[in-house]
Amino acid sequence: MIKSTTSSLAPHRELPAPTASWHDRKGLVQIGLLAVLLLAPLAAYFLGHVYYVNLASRVTLIAMAAVGLNLAIGYGGMVSFGHAAYFGLGGYVAGISAYHAFDLTPVIAWPIAIPGSDSMLAIWLAAIVVCGLLALAIGAVSLRTTGVYFIMITLAFAQMVYYFANSWPTYGGEDGLPIYLRNSLPMVDTQDPLTFFLICFGGLLLSLALTSRIMKSRFGAALTMARLNETRLATAGIAPYPIRLVAFVISAMITGLAGALYADLNGFVSPTMLSWHMSGELMVIVILGGVGRLYGPLAGAILFVMMETLLGGLTEYWKLFLGLVLLGVVLFAKHGVMGWLAGREHP
Amino acid sequence: MTLFIEQLINGLQLGTMLFLMASGLTLIFGVMGLINLAHGSFYMVGAYATALVSAATGSFLIGLAAGITAAAAVGALVELIVIRRLYHRPHLDQVLATFALILIFSEGTRWLFGSSPLWLNAPAALSGSIALPGGSRYPIYRLVIIAVGIMVAVGMYILISRTRLGMRIRAGESDREMIGALGVNIARLYTLVFAMGAALAGLAGAMVGALQSVQVGMGQPVLILAFVVIVIGGIGSIKGALYGAILVGVVDTLGRVFLPLFFRQFMTSSEAAGVGSALAAMLIYILMALILAFKPKGLFAAHD
Amino acid sequence: MKKLASAGLGLLMTASMMTAAQAEEVKIGMITTLSGGGSHLGVDVRDGFMLAIERAGRDDIEVLVQDDGNRPDLARSLANEFMQRDEVDILTGIIFSNLAMAVVPAAVRQGTFYLSPNAGPSDLAGRMCHENYFNVAYQNDNLHGAMGAYMREQGFEKPIIMAPNYPAGTDALAGFKHLYEGEVVDEIYTQMGQTDYAAEIAQIRSSDADSLFFFLPGGMGISFMKQWQNSGVDMPVFGAAFSFDEIIIKAVGSAAIGAMNTSLWAYDLDNEANHAFVEAFRETYGRTPTLYAAQGYDTANLILSALEKAHPDDQDAFREALREADFDSVRGEFRFGPNHHPIQDIYVREVVEGDDGEPTNRLVGIAVEDIQDVYHTQCEM
């Protein structure tokens, strides 16, 4: 552990000698995590415990949102305290689209008429596009700042979206917007909890694969270099700003897609999805799992939702214990759950 | 016109309240480079201690002293147990750890003192209002808050520019390694500064608590505003915190009052009130984004 | 022959008792706000509810309680947990309208009964009403509308009205105006969670209003009232009980004295059920109950009265039993309208200095008799 006295955002890592057994252990843990997440709800479904299937969907989607955030925080070194904006916006895209499809009114009547839709495919595409555009605007301004300023300006933008949603009456304001019937996919019954879980699980796998693919590409190498040593990147003739901006936008798109699915899972979207507590929770999950670890968000989400569910059943003061656990993780398990399960990772 | 001036004073007053909170936050960041989300918890500790002690003794002043002491003591304790492990950590870890502290403080307070809000009123001598020129009246207690805010600003200026402690703080802001080399006990300095920041938050909580609901979670809305203030002003700069606080206070107050009036020119009264207040809620965040877009390190950047 | 008959009867009785005992197991899931802002409401609903269950002395009723932390998505997840894992027969407990909107429509559609001990959003009373949804508290507009009617009757001609800018706030002002029927001087919308009201107070002072009506629930109301007292504005203040429950006025202190507020219940309401409730509540929890505790208590007693007649498994019979509302409400007469929302009297209370020097509510009279929400016409059940 190299101690740094500056307030650098780069996670501190050392270079362990990669051995075969170390790789095996990491691979086993990753496969293990996915297997647990896939098999537990399958078993629950066939034993008739639908509740656990929905709980697994919740874990999956929160993990997916955190995978998006991890791309910004862990790989890009951009500590966004405002990813709830994309999570919530994705949710609102699903909610608003379904609302207009139900009412048979257009979402936008002018300059071009965009009808509502209850097709998940259309909603996903819209969520990705809308969140990407918002992130492009926010990122373009925010990425001019660094460090704490970046943390706070992303928070400020998210608060703007939050207050807007809270006081805009058309889509329910603070009351939120219900989705009466889960949006549909061709040839599949999305109402079925297991089917819906498998859709979410597919989304998580895709986002993991995408992140992995990005980080193995030249673009990923440039992003890593922008985080670790901006000057060296500049000497190679690559400007860090556009690299970061693209990564930020992709990160928001993943989180936004997770938000659209989350709204469908709950049958409901409300400004709570946009609040700074939500941003904080997503950050907590990323850190809990291990910053910049591909499967970290998954481990973090499993642990977080389990704590929330178990502690909440035990005591009304459960948040106190949640706080103590989180504090313990930051102080004593510096590399998160993945660091503990699978050993440290070189950059 | 009188109304406009009165609202301007209201904005100033809100600004001084925010300054009390923001000055401690920016001091801690300036000296130790620490993001402290739990600063609102010290605000709550100050208000709770003041409420409990003044209810028991019947004296607001004793309560106020207790509130400041309690916040400082809790601050020192938190620094010794948790915060000092975080100075060399990335901001991300600091955010998470202090986020956890919020949960611990909020729920711990609820466990100890229950869910009901507590009673805390301004002392009788300071309640009531005085006449303003132009026929309007202004509450005495709010003028007292403005006075306390100015005293704190002046006090901090003297402390930082004229005293030995201030010299060390300035040294710490510009070069953290150097003050160690100069033989200053950094660990003790950091504990002291952190406790001082907490005491300022406690003072804010105690003073403002007499005008507000003393309840669990009362520190959170003001914490977010205080962050906006110090980011606008330039993190680590006391001067920036002062200007930022007044700017935010005035813009927020005037926006809340005059945006609905503005929209009334194009729409019905109900609609204008709704739209205007929605926009007013976003106004300070828009202000912050605008300032950072042009001055990425705030108005009075102290250092990186 | 006689002997045989009685033996047969005995056998029959044992058999029927056994089936009754098996069927009588009832599970109730309570999702309520026990942590964070607004938690004293949830605590009182829970305590009132549990008091009624305990007083009934029935150990065949299991009540599961979970904290929603005032978060809609968590409330939704808890509802699923209760319905799908614990297979509860009845859900109840939600405090805030936005959480109710997240939970109730899906829950009742899945065949679970939901009884609201507090929140009463207009959609659930109107176009989204459901046969399995019962509101035992009030429709959100009730108290505000009643105050509008009362203020008109008292001869106030120029009220200024204020609420936070969110759905319950705009509904509150609309509800007020609906029964006030006259012109209001101005409408002021504040921010959610706002803590400083200097600007609004200056605005009120500079208007030519003769009275103030406001809806600022929880901590917002406490902050406002404290600052209002200091401002020296001399204007009568009116509100709904949400800003003047026993816990809130104790925190406000002398600043609350003289304020008038509408409530569906008062602790000094003179009826037998209420005497017993207030006494038992004070004895058990050591404090005076709020209206939320009364609503929780009534909700539990309504469930108990219906359980006397049918088990929730027999949905139609149980629903019919709930509809009859055959229980002694602490607020006097209580009956349901066609949309399963109460038709009830709304009372006016004044905050006065109690015997111990602390502020407390005193019953003044009835604001509106048999108030019914306007949304029932939109309800097709």
The alpha-carbon gap from A205 to the nearest alpha carbon of chain C, in Å, equals 23
Please tell me which of A7-21, A108-122, B175-189 the model is most confident about, judged by mean pLDDT.
A108-122
C:115-134 residues touching chain A, CB 8 A cutoff: 121
Contact A322 B103 (CB under 8 A): yes
Band of the pLDDT at B207, cuts 50, 70, 90?
very high
Q: Do residues C313 and C195 share a domain?
A: no
Query: Would you give the distance in Å from CA B221 to the centre of its chain?
Result: 10
| Residue B171 lies inside a defined structural domain of this protein | yes
pLDDT average, residue stretch C36-42: 81
Terminal-to-terminal C-alpha distance of chain B: 42
Q: How confident is the model at residue C301 (pLDDT cuts 50, 70, 90)?
A: very high
**Pair C22, C40 in one domain:** yes
Asked if A9 is an interface residue toward chain B (Cβ–Cβ < 8 A), one would say: yes
Tell whether C338 and C361 lie within a shared domain: no
pLDDT reported for residue C8:
47
Provide mean pLDDT across the span C241-264: 92
Q: Is residue C3 part of a domain?
A: no
- Positive or negative torsion for Cα B271, B274, B280, B282: negative
Is there a contact between B88 and A4 if contact means CB atoms under 8 Å apart?
A: yes
Q: C224-257: b or e for each residue (b if 16 or more CB lie within 10 Å)? A: bbbbbbbbbbeeebbbbbbbbbbbbbbbbbbbbe
Inter-chain contact A156–B296, Cβ cutoff 8 Å? no
In angstroms, the CA B17 to CA B29 distance is 19
pLDDT at B98: 92
Same domain, C131 and C147: no
Interface of C with B in 17-46 (CB under 8 A): 34-37, 39-40, 43
- Whether residue C235 is found in the same domain as residue C324: no
pLDDT score of A137: 94
Q: Looking at the structure, tell me whether residues C182 and C311 fall in a common domain.
A: no
Chain B hits for C194, Cβ within 8 Å: 221
Mean pLDDT, all residues of chain A: 86
- DSSP states of C20-54 as a string? HHHHH-EEEEEEE--SSTTHHHHHHHHHHHHHHHH
**Polymer length in residues for chain C:** 381
Separation of CA C107 from chain center = 19
pLDDT in tens, C58-89: 889 999 999 888 888 889 889 988 998 889 99
Q: Which of A135, A134, A27, A155 is nearest to A80 (CA)?
A: A155
Say if residue C26 is in the same domain as residue C99.
yes
CB pair distance less than 8 Å for C248 and B281: no
Write down the pLDDT at residue C2: 45
Q: What is the pLDDT of residues B272-293, one digit of tens each?
A: 877 888 888 889 999 988 898 8
pLDDT of residue A313 exceeding 80 = no
B117, B129, B277: residue with CB nearest C230: B129
pLDDT, residue C3, reads: 47
Phi first, then psi: what are they for C200, rounded to 5°?
Answer: -65, -40
* Chain B residues with beta carbon closer than 8 angstroms to that of A324: 100, 104
When pLDDT is averaged across residues B48-71 and rounded to a whole number, the result is 94
Phi, psi of C366 (to 5 degrees): -100, 130
Residues of chain C neighbouring A309 (CB-CB closer than 8 A)? 81
pLDDT digits (tens, 9 = 90+) for B4-30: 888 898 899 899 989 999 999 988 888
Residue B304 pLDDT exceeds 80: no
What letter represents residue C358's amino acid? E
User: What would the mean pLDDT of C328-347 be, rounded to a whole number?
Assistant: 94
Whether C197 maps to a domain, the answer reads yes
**Cis link prior to B123 (omega < 30° from 0)?**
no
- Residue B265 within a domain: no
d(CA C73, CA A62): 12
The shortest CB-CB distance from A141 to any of B91, B285, B293 is to B293
Does the residue B82 lie in any domain? yes
Nearest residue on chain C to B222, alpha-carbon basis: C195
Count of the separate structural domains present in chain C: 2
Both C260 and C283 in a single domain?
no
Phi then psi dihedrals of residue A184, to 5 deg: -115, 160
pLDDT greater than 50 at residue B265: yes
Question: Cβ–Cβ of B281/A323 closer than 8 Å?
Answer: no
Helices (H), chain C: 2-24, 39-56, 72-80, 97-109, 122-125, 142-153, 167-180, 198-206, 219-231, 246-252, 272-285, 291-309, 315-324
Residue B179: what pLDDT? Answer: 67
Residue C20 maps to a domain: yes
Domain that holds residue C127: 8-140+269-343
- In this complex, the chains that touch C, judged by 3 or more CB pairs closer than 8 A, are A, B
Please report whether residue B39 resides in a domain: yes
Test the B interface: residue of C195, C292, C358 with most B CBs within 10 Å = C195
Mean pLDDT of C348-374: 93
What span, in angstroms and rounded, lies between the C-alpha atoms of A221 and A215?
7
The phi and psi torsions of A185 (rounded to 5 degrees) equal -125, 150
- Tokens 């950094």 belong to B186
pLDDT of A23 reads 61
CB contacts of B278 in chain A (<8 Å) are 163-164, 167-168
Asked if the Cβ–Cβ distance from B274 to C231 is below 8 Å, we say no
Residue B48 lies in a domain: yes
Phi, psi of C236 (to 5 degrees): -65, 145
Q: Which of A151-155, A191-195, B46-50 has the highest mean pLDDT?
A: B46-50
Tokens 């319905």, residue?
Answer: C83
Quote the minimal CA–CA distance from B1 to chain A in Å.
30
Which residues of chain B are within 8 Å of residue A329 when distances are taken between CB atoms? Answer: 96
Mutation target for B interface from C223, C242, C248: give the one with most B CBs within 10 A.
C223
Which CATH number is C179's domain given?
Answer: 3.40.50.2300
Q: What is the pLDDT of residues C94-123, one digit of tens each?
A: 999 889 988 999 899 889 999 999 989 888
B93 Cβ under 8 Å from any chain C Cβ: no
Domain annotation covers residue B164: yes
Task: Identify the CA nearest to A282 among candidates A83, A88, A127, A128.
Answer: A83
C67 in any annotated domain: yes
Whole-angstrom Cα distance, residue C77 to residue C103? 9
Mean pLDDT, rounded, for A321-342? 84
Distance CA B228, CA B248 (A): 8
The residue in chain C having the minimum alpha-carbon distance to the alpha carbon of residue A278 is: C71
Q: How many structural domains compose chain B?
A: 1
* ipTM of the complex model: 0.86
pLDDT tens profile A201-237 = 999 999 999 999 999 999 999 999 999 888 888 888 8
Collect all residues of chain B within an 8 Å Cβ-Cβ radius of residue C231.
129, 137, 139
pLDDT for residue B270 is more than 80:
no
Q: Which two tokens stand for residue C37?
A: 């802002």
Q: Decide if C1 is inside a domain.
A: no
- Domain with B120 in it: 2-216
Considering the domain boundaries, does residue C312 fall inside one?
Answer: yes
Chain A residue with minimum CA distance to B229: A152
Q: Is B51 on the interface with C (CB under 8 A)?
A: no
Report how far residue B153's alpha carbon sits from residue B137's, in angstroms, rounded to the nearest whole number: 26
A vs C, Cβ pairs < 8 A, gives: 91
Distance of alpha carbon B69 from alpha carbon A317, whole angstroms: 27
Q: Which of chain A's residues have a Cβ under 8 Å away from the Cβ of C66?
A: 312-313
The reply to whether B127 falls in a domain is yes
C42 pLDDT above the threshold of 80: yes
Q: Does C229 lie in the same domain as C217?
A: yes
Q: What is the pLDDT of residues A1-34, one digit of tens each?
A: 334 433 344 444 444 444 445 567 888 888 889 9
Q: Which of B106, B218, B273 sits opposite C187 (nearest CB)?
A: B273
Q: What is the mean pLDDT of chain B?
A: 88
Average pLDDT for A44-55: 87
C253 and C327 inside one domain: no
Find, in chain A, the residue whose alpha carbon is nearest to that of B83.
Answer: A331
Q: Do A319 and C35 touch (CB under 8 A)?
A: yes
Helix, strand, coil content of chain C in percent (nearest 5): 50, 20, 35
Which residues in chain A are contacts of B277 at CB distance < 8 A?
167
Judge whether C207 is closer than 8 Å to chain B, CB to CB. no
Q: CA B15 to CA B37: how far, in whole Å?
A: 20
Note the pLDDT tens digit of each residue in A264-294: 998 889 999 999 889 999 999 998 888 889 9
Q: Are residues C361 and C300 in the same domain?
A: no
pLDDT attached to residue A282: 94
Is B238 inside a domain boundary? no
Does some domain include residue C334? yes
Structure tokens at C192: 């959610």
For residues C331-353, give the mean pLDDT.
Answer: 95
In angstroms, the separation between the Cα of residue B178 and the nearest Cα of chain C is 43
Residue A231 exposed, middle or buried by CB count within 10 Å (0-12, 13-18, 19+): exposed
Report the pLDDT averaged over residues A284-310.
Answer: 90
CA distances from C18 to A326, B142, C14, C22 (A): 50, 70, 6, 6
Find chains touching chain A: ≥3 CB pairs under 8 Å. B, C
C174/C50 same-domain check: no
Res. B269: pLDDT tops 80: no
